[in-house]
Chains A and B, each alone.
Chain A
């Protein structure tokens, strides 16, 4: 079946042919990259670290960029870096307190936002990146499959698993907070 035709992300939003334009194009992508890095990371500071590593990598590899869809290329690099980071994070899962507090303020409902972050932290790196690319970054399933070099069926199963696990985790979290004494 076809997965729709009107997804946003696939457009080449930052095309740069001349090398001089390259850094300007990356600069224009910074807001999107910052949001994606934060949506993958456990904290604000982890998100900024990931963003910096990604920018460093994108600039170091500019000669390997094939000249189409810089945004998708940068997102792919970010996703791979994130998976590399994540292996280390699972060995050291502590999150600094200030980071949690900072993240809280960005959500309309701080408690809800924190529950959401906790639930997201239970997703695997693979599932989380697919969820964010689809839901927040608006990529179509076929685009995600190409970006991550996985079959579209894998994209669908990761998306499905993410959505179910997230719903489950939010539910469990709810049960715990109801038990809390007043």
Chain B
């Protein structure tokens, strides 16, 4: 440390509490804290917190009789995690999906019956980002059944969703960005059939790509919407509106959006 005796950053106070400092650094901080009672009190609180947290969760660091069985169970079915869920569970999930679909229909039904108003076009694209965010929040949290059709049936997925959207759907390949396809589902967008594709990286971070028909048949630039850490890039390209949503850094999501745009553009040109 080259700074003078009397400058200590907050980062250094954290490093002090967490025991990440060398002995001379520690001594310097301790001397500084003696002269700064308010900060010393805060540091004391942080130390007490740390001790309480360590103690509170210490007992959980244990092996359990069921651990080996758990590993064996999942070790054998690792190729298809979805099949690990029992039929009963899947029935429950199916019932829930019907319920969720119902909730979506309810929420967006007004758009279904609303007359096509030229003034509504700006809200239509904004609602696209809202719908994309809702879909992301609902489905990205699904551990076992995030999608209806998995990536193992890609050709079927593309044909099925493409048919419902009345659009030659090609599933974007995002592997260069580290994301692989989880699968997709049919989802109401602006009160009509739309498609949601889900992608995931090796550590389980998820992204969704939403496609919906755009009755106005116009084009927009890229737009971005951000809500509580969930970012959405969206755009309309003639008859289809697109929205890419994720809880990832904006620059990464932008790359994903650009990659999707590039690949979807290839689709409509063909």
Contact = CB atoms under 8 A, between A and B. Distances in A.
Chain A contact residues: over half helix, strand or loop, or mixed? helix
A150 B64 CA distance: 33
Category for how many chain B residues contact A: 35 or more
A81 B61 contact: no
Given A27-B71, A55-B70, A76-B203, A156 B11 contact: yes
B160 to A, nearest CB: 25
A135 B54 contact: yes
A86 B204 CA distance: 14
B34 interface: no
A126 interface: yes
Interface residues of A, number: 62
Contacts of B117: none
B57 A35 contact: yes
Contacts of B54: 135-136
Contacts of B9: 1
Contacts of A60: 74, 78-79, 81
Given A64-B202, A108-B55, A32 B61 contact: yes
A4 B21 contact: yes
Interface in A141-179: 141, 149-150, 156, 159-160, 163, 166-167, 170
Nearest to B200: A80
A157 to B, nearest CB: 10
Nearest to A150: B249
Interface string A41-64: 000000100001101110111101
A55 B74 contact: yes
Contact of A5 (B22, B57, B78, B79): B22
> Chain A CB within 10 Å — which of B22, B57, B142, B203 has the most?
B57
Nearest to A60: B78
Nearest to A22: B75
Contact of A34 (B10, B22, B61): B61
Given A136-B53, A159-B14, A52 B70 contact: yes
B33 interface: no
Nearest to B62: A31
A160 B10 contact: yes
A57 B203 CA distance: 9
Nearest to A31: B61
Given A38-B57, A64-B202, A87 B137 contact: yes
A141 B20 contact: yes
Interface in B1-25: 1, 9-12, 14-15, 18-22
A107 B55 contact: yes
Interface in B38-53: 42, 45-46, 49-50, 52-53
Interface in A9-52: 23, 26-27, 30-32, 34-35, 38-39, 47, 52
B143 A166 contact: no
A158 B11 CA distance: 11
B140 A134 contact: no
B60 A47 contact: yes
Given A7-B20, A35-B57, A35-B60, A85 B202 contact: no
Given A30-B67, A47-B60, 19 more contacts: A1-B11, A4-B21, A5-B20, A6-B20, A7-B20, A27-B68, A27-B71, A34-B60, A35-B60, A38-B60, A39-B53, A39-B57, A57-B81, A83-B247, A87-B137, A135-B49, A136-B54, A149-B249, A156-B14
Interface of A: 1, 3-7, 23, 26-27, 30-32, 34-35, 38-39, 47, 52-53, 55-57, 59-62, 64, 73, 76-77, 80-81, 83-88, 106-108, 112-113, 116-117, 126, 131-132, 134-136, 140-141, 149-150, 156, 159-160, 163, 166-167, 170
Which 10 A-B residue pairings sit nearest by Cβ, starting from the closest?
A4-B20, A80-B204, A88-B141, A35-B61, A38-B60, A35-B60, A31-B61, A64-B202, A87-B141, A59-B74
6 contacts: A55-B70, A57-B81, A73-B203, A84-B204, A85-B143, A136-B57
